[in-house]
Each structure stands twice: as structure tokens, then as C-alpha cells.
């Protein structure tokens, strides 16, 4: 019985540590952005907004940022969209996670090979944003 209780406690501890490590990379603040615009102003301001947020929190524990691209916004992550490639690479180099919605990929017939190699993927953009909000992340849209 003691072995079972000890095993259960160890499993629970590992689960908690895993959950904490997935939701926090050492930053005090967390923000998830959405990008749903097919092009235009939202694309122009994404990099400055994220960069400004990072600068504002630099002395206050840092900020972990994820940008979730879904719907027509997924186009920003396409390899053919070379105008924004360097800006996106700069964000990734600064620790920003760029996530493509696989549901949007299916609808728009976009393959992994169509996306920049530095883009990650999530099953559902809306589910990813919901999970991040539930974990205490600020939602910026």
C-alpha cells in the first residue's frame, strides 16, 4: 500500500512539474496574440507591438509571447510571403513562438512544406488561445 501511495505521489509530482514547465519558460508575464487578417495593418504592427511588449517587461521578469495565426492570417506564415520573412525570423530569434492553426491549414489547403520552417503548429488556433488564457496568459487581439 505504501508503494502504491508513493508511486501515485511521484506520478502527481511529475505531472505538476510538466504542466508548469509547459506554461512558463521563466518569464513573469505571458501574452498570446492572434493574427487573423489576410494582410494589411495587422501585419504591419505585429512586430512593433511584440517588440514593445518585450521591451516594457524586460526589467520586470520578461514576457513569453506566442502569436497564433488562424483563418486568413495563416497566410503570413507561408514561404511565398517573403516580405515578412525577416521580421518573423527576428521575432523567433527573440523567443516568440509563431503557431499555425492546423484547422485553417486544412481549410486553406496549406501543407507543412508551405510554411516557413520556423513556424510551429497547433491543432486548433482557438483552442490554443483558450488554453493559454486558462493558464493565465493575456490575450491580445
Give the pLDDT confidence of 25-41 residue by residue, as tens digits: 689 999 999 999 998 89
Instruction: Sketch the domain layout of the chain as residue ranges.
Output: 27-140
Percent of the chain, pLDDT > 90?
Answer: 79
**What is the DSSP secondary structure assignment for residue 65, as one 8-state letter?**
E
pLDDT value of position 40 = 87
Cell of 18: 510538466
69 in Cβ contact with 46 (< 8 Å)? no
Q: What is the pLDDT of residues 62-87, one digit of tens each?
A: 999 999 999 999 999 999 999 999 99
Residue 117 contacts residue 138 (beta carbons within 8 Å) = no
Cell reading at 11: 506520478
Q: Is the pLDDT of residue 9 over 60?
A: no
Q: What is the pLDDT averaged over residues 89-96?
A: 97
pTM of this prediction? 0.81
Q: Could you give the CA distance from residue 6 to residue 92 in angstroms, rounded to a whole number?
A: 41
Domain 27-140 CATH (choose: 3.40.50.10860, 3.40.1260.10, 3.40.50.20, 1.10.510.10):
3.40.1260.10
Amino acid at each position: 500500500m505504501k508503494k502504491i501511495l508513493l508511486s501515485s505521489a511521484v506520478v502527481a509530482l511529475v505531472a505538476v512539474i510538466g504542466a508548469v514547465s509547459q506554461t512558463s519558460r521563466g518569464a513573469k508575464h505571458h501574452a498570446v496574440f492572434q493574427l487573423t487578417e489576410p494582410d494589411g495593418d495587422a501585419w504591419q504592427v505585429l512586430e512593433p507591438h511584440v517588440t514593445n511588449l518585450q521591451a516594457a517587461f524586460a526589467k520586470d521578469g520578461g514576457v513569453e509571447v506566442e502569436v497564433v495565426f488562424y483563418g486568413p492570417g495563416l497566410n503570413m506564415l507561408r514561404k511565398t510571403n517573403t516580405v515578412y520573412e525577416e521580421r518573423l525570423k527576428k521575432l523567433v530569434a527573440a523567443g516568440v513562438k509563431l503557431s499555425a492553426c492546423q484547422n485553417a491549414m486544412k481549410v486553406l489547403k496549406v501543407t507543412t512544406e508551405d510554411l516557413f520552417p520556423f513556424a510551429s503548429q497547433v491543432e486548433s488556433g482557438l483552442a490554443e488561445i483558450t488554453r493559454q488564457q486558462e493558464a493565465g496568459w493575456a490575450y491580445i487581439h
